[in-house]
Amino acid sequence: MQVYKLFLKILKAQWGQVVVYLGIFLGIMAIMQTQHSDKPDAQYVDYKLELAISDQDQTAESKAFVSYLQENSRKRTIPDFNKETIQDELFFRNIDAAIIIPKGFAANLAKGNAEACVDTYTLPGLMTANLTKNRINQYLATAITYAEKGHTLMEGMDYAKKSASIHGTVTYMEKKSDGRTSRYIFFSYLAYVLLCITFVSGLAILKVFHTKTLDDRIQCSSYPFNRKNLEIFLGMVTLGALTYVAFAALGFFYFKTDIFTKSGGLLLLNAAGYMIMVLALTYFLGQLVDKETLISPISNIVGLGFSFLGGVFVPIEYLGKTVLKIAHFLPSYWYVLGCDFADHYTGGSILPGLHYLGIELVFALVFYLAGITALKLRENR
């Protein structure tokens, strides 16, 4: 088992790169976990502005305006409405805006002078600042428009309030995309990470075995071709098993008992099939790569190509027809379909999931046979 032992020795030297990719994946998952919720209702939260309002006009019109503002916001009380106090309250995010309604509000509104009606203090550049000003400007502009058309000012303000209360119903464009859980994100992103880790470490190891000095020494020894190939294959299996177990353990850490379900089991099975395909692809490309400088570019090109075209980074439902036709020839596409099936699986037949897994294994067989052929051609040079 000298070749196998040498394989493990070289793998140990490559462990640093594996840890780097593992750290990158953990960072991506941490970001995705904070931005994703398994509950569709938690994807949108209605936000009410926190406003401090000072009505110095104390007219029927100003009170109607205050009523409108408070109906769609949270009322906040501040010690004073001088400039320094307002700045402090805004700086410490105690309020989103301070609104002062000066004396003469009703008179300026009747004249159509909306700019002189209200003094608004916000933190520039924030979404809340734009939202506050838009609500105020829209309300006052609507009230003035109605007043100019012959209505009384109070009638105009009443119409403006009714107009502002009209809201459209927002629905998701496709309900299917809402049902994906954080487990789906975790396992679908594995398509990229598993490939990069295996390529970076596996290709580097196979490249060492193809160096002229080591290759000549093995050929001059009593090691037969089949035994050497078998031990290299066992080394690749060991690499794949260690990588797979590491990420399966991460899955247990993130999702705990959710992994011990039929859906979780299908996700793990699907990931195992993809891992076998990745090992076979690595074995095949390892017979073609002679320069170490090519390993990183190949890893990035194949990894990113599989991920963008296969539905890992861009959901499949957003891919164009031409891209989907190309994606059918990529194992990552079938892996993502398998993840989607497993994530939504609640019972019944698992044949669709096994179908996707079978296609991944067919890719693996093709890549392995191609690798054996390339290796024999190399040995016969």
Residue-wise pLDDT tens digits, 323-369? 999 999 999 999 999 999 999 888 888 999 999 999 999 999 999 99
Is 360 found in the same domain as 266?
yes
Element containing residue 75 per DSSP (H, E): strand 73-75
Is 72 found in the same domain as 8?
no
**CATH number for 101:** 3.40.1710
The pLDDT mean for the chain works out to 84
Is 195 found in the same domain as 237?
yes
Residues for the chain: how many in total? 381
- Classify residue 172: in a domain, yes or no: no
* Confidence band of 141 (pLDDT split at 50, 70, 90): very high
Taking only the tens place, the pLDDT of each residue in 221-274 is 666 767 777 888 888 899 899 889 988 888 888 888 888 889 999 999 999 999
Q: Is the distance from CB of 259 to CB of 184 less than 8 angstroms?
A: no
Cα angle value 248/254/259 (rounded, 5°):
60
Is 157 found in the same domain as 10?
no
Is 262 found in the same domain as 248?
yes
Bridge-based pairing state of the strands 97-101 and 73-75: unpaired
Taking only the tens place, the pLDDT of each residue in 39-58 is 544 455 566 889 999 999 99
Would you state the torsion angle of the CA atoms of residues 21, 24, 29, 30, taken in this order, to the nearest 10 degrees?
140
pLDDT at 375: 79
Domain boundary among 164, 191, 220: 164
Q: Is the distance from CB of 105 to CB of 64 less than 8 angstroms?
A: no
Range of the domain at 272: 2-40+179-379
Alpha-carbon span 96 to 132, nearest angstrom: 8
Q: 97 pairs with which residues across the strands? A: 51, 122
Alpha-carbon span 98 to 82, nearest angstrom: 10
Backbone angles phi, psi at 137, to 5 degrees: -65, -40
pTM for this prediction: 0.63
pLDDT at 31: 67
Taking only the tens place, the pLDDT of each residue in 1-43 is 777 888 888 888 777 777 777 777 777 666 665 555 555 444 5
Backbone angles phi, psi at 365, to 5 degrees: -65, -40
Is 346 found in the same domain as 236?
yes
Taking only the tens place, the pLDDT of each residue in 108-131 is 988 888 888 899 999 988 888 888
Taking only the tens place, the pLDDT of each residue in 162-207 is 888 776 666 655 444 446 788 888 898 889 888 988 888 888 888 8
Q: How many CB atoms lie within 10 A of CB 109?
A: 25
pLDDT at 291: 78
- Classify residue 171: in a domain, yes or no: no
Domain boundary among 129, 164, 199: 164
> Which candidate, 182, 351, 180, 192, places its Cα nearest to that of 271?
192
Is 206 found in the same domain as 86?
no
